[in-house]
Amino acid sequence: MAKYVFVTGGVTSSLGKGIIAASLAKLLQARGFTTTIQKFDPYINVDPGTLNPYEHGECYVTEDGAETDLDLGHYERFLSTPTSQANNVTTGRIYQTVINKERAGEFLGKTVQVVPHITDEIKRRMLLLGTDGKFDIVITEIGGTVGDIESTPFIETVRQIQWELPEEDVMVVHLTLIPYLNAAKELKTKPTQHSVRMLSETGVHPDVIVCRTEHPLNDEIKRKIALFCNVKAGNVIESLDAKTIYEVPLLMQKEQLDLIVLKKLNIQNYKQPDLVKWNVFLDKLRNPKSTVNIGLIGKYIELQDAYKSILESFIHAGAMNEVKVNVVNVHSEKITDENVNEQLAGLHGLLVAPGFGNRGIEGKIVAVKYARENNLPFFGICLGMQMAVIEYARNILHLKGAHSVEMDPNTEHPVIDMMEDQKRITMKGGTMRLGSYPCTITKDTLAYKIYGSTSIHERHRHRYEFNNTFLKLFQEKGMVTSGVNPELGLVEIVELPNHPFFIGVQYHPELKSTVEQPAPLFVHFIAAAKAQAAKKG
Ligand code: GLN
């Protein structure tokens, strides 16, 4: 059986519970423990796959094809171990399971209630990842803020687990905010006291309080919080604002969060933390030798969380290349034939982002054309790859009005078409082509140079695909389809040989980029941009 750490949040949302959970997991991993992190989200959607990125940021996809919260991306980027369907559970998923059981007659004769039926299902899932011996420590982040009506059943379940399991097998870390009042020149502890009191009223008592703060906390404040919140004096720690999220594990190490946790969980055998690779990465990140300007062409650019994994992949690949990646957000709706020179001036590489629907599509196609004609390194992901195909069809194959059936169902030249097995699907949730699939790469191509292998696996999230009826035509005119799904023949990678770097992929390489294993496509794309910058300045 594993030991369990629950992470709750108080005072306000957006304090970075996910980063604190991931940092703690990283420190425990560095000390030789197997850890995993799971997130329980209070909303009713069965998963975030049906949410607009403006609502909830990027939808992160796991190896096994779960559409999940973007915090799972942080967990993987920090730990370099894959998460799965079981690592993200929503209230909707819990209710769906319980209601299905009720319909199947499993509770026959009984009134189905929040306590115990909903909480029993929450408990089953909270403990699940710790039952097969794979993990020493399971960290569970409870989404939302203590006091929210929606998260009450989750908190109640944490209470039951705290009550049922041996004291040394469970603990609660509560993350709160210590605001600084400029007028009074003072840090204020009252909101924290209230949030801990609210948590205590539900019967859950925190063992550690992590205080987010813009100013260091002195011992007196820490003692005050400990006293009023009834936790041990050494168990109040500060989490100062960091320059990058990747510094947070080291900040937490300085505050001894890992040692406090190991002590509470009564774990005595642990080694000195091995953070060598992590520190090499941080060192490169902090000391770039030059800068590259990368245009991110998308339609959700007002909300950076919509492209979270892509932005983090740039950071990993930048460090690997010892350059700072300056991401220039370009709204695809604003790009036209007339202004493209101006809009994309000064860029050393162009990434056309994934997406859905018609908005901003023509701007993306204009951007691809610009990159192709001007020898600007180009990298298209999912919809971005599809736009590269459409651009080539229109301008090189002279297929006028060529399009994706997603945008123009009546197009004369459907170079991007709906996948056969998608045509029968009417339900929206969890029905795209999702998760990891194999891809066979042809030798002597850019893709082969990048991956150094003929067989790779990458993650997917799409309904449309390259239409193989046009395959020959594209090949004859110079587009190389360098990666193909071995079973279905679906085109996974397209590239142009007579270009410094032009590649589009149907899958999402950004979902597998981690600090210790940056995605090869991003590393090579940034290397190409670096070469471009050296040439053009
Ligand atoms: N909308 C496109 C499709 O469904 C691309 C999806 C994406 O970019 N993730 O195929």
Give the max Cα distance, the chain.
76
Average pLDDT taken over every residue of the chain? 95
What's the mean pLDDT in 45-70?
A: 90
| E strands present in 332-432 | 349-352, 378-381, 403-404, 414-418
Q: Which among 475, 492, 477 is positioned nearest to 395, based on CA atoms?
A: 477
Q: Specify the ligand 1 atom closest to the Cα of 461.
A: 9
Measured CA to CA, the distance from residue 215 to residue 381 in angstroms comes to 40
| pLDDT tens digit sequence for 114-154 | 999 999 999 999 999 999 889 999 999 999 899 899 999 99
Q: Specify the ligand 1 atom closest to the Cα of 384.
A: 8
Measured CA to CA, the distance from residue 249 to residue 253 in angstroms comes to 6
Measured CA to CA, the distance from residue 335 to residue 364 in angstroms comes to 7
Q: Hey, which of 50, 59, 406, 505 would you mutate to test ligand 1's pocket, going by the most ligand atoms within 8 Å of its Cβ?
A: 406
pTM: 0.94
pLDDT interval class at 537 (50, 70, 90): low
Q: Is 197 exposed, middle or buried (0-12, 13-18, 19+ CB in 10 A)?
A: middle
Measured CA to CA, the distance from residue 63 to residue 237 in angstroms comes to 35
pLDDT at 230: 92
* Token representation of residue 372: 């192709």
Backbone dihedral angles phi then psi of residue 160, each to the nearest 5 degrees:
-65, -40
**3-state secondary structure string, 407-432?**
CCCCCCCEEEEECHHHCCCCCCCCCC
Task: Indicate the helix (H) or strand (E) that contains 460.
Answer: strand 455-462
Task: Tell me the CA–centroid distance for residue 406 and ligand 1, in Å.
Answer: 9
| pLDDT tens digit sequence for 183-220 | 989 999 999 999 999 999 999 999 999 999 999 999 99
Tell me how many degrees the CA angle 437-438-440 measures, rounded to the nearest 5: 145
Task: Tell me the CA–centroid distance for residue 383 and ligand 1, in Å.
Answer: 5
Q: Go through the chain and tell me how many residues it has.
A: 537
Q: Which among 177, 63, 174 is positioned nearest to 461, based on CA atoms?
A: 63
Task: Indicate the helix (H) or strand (E) that contains 5.
Answer: strand 3-9
Q: Hey, which of 389, 464, 467 would you mutate to test ligand 1's pocket, going by the most ligand atoms within 8 Å of its Cβ?
A: 464
pLDDT at 427: 81
Tell me how many degrees the CA angle 372-374-377 measures, rounded to the nearest 5: 65
| pLDDT tens digit sequence for 355-385 | 999 888 999 999 999 999 999 999 999 999 9
Q: Specify the ligand 1 atom closest to the Cα of 353.
A: 8
Q: Would you put residue 76 in left (φ > 0), alpha (ψ -120 to 50) or beta? A: alpha
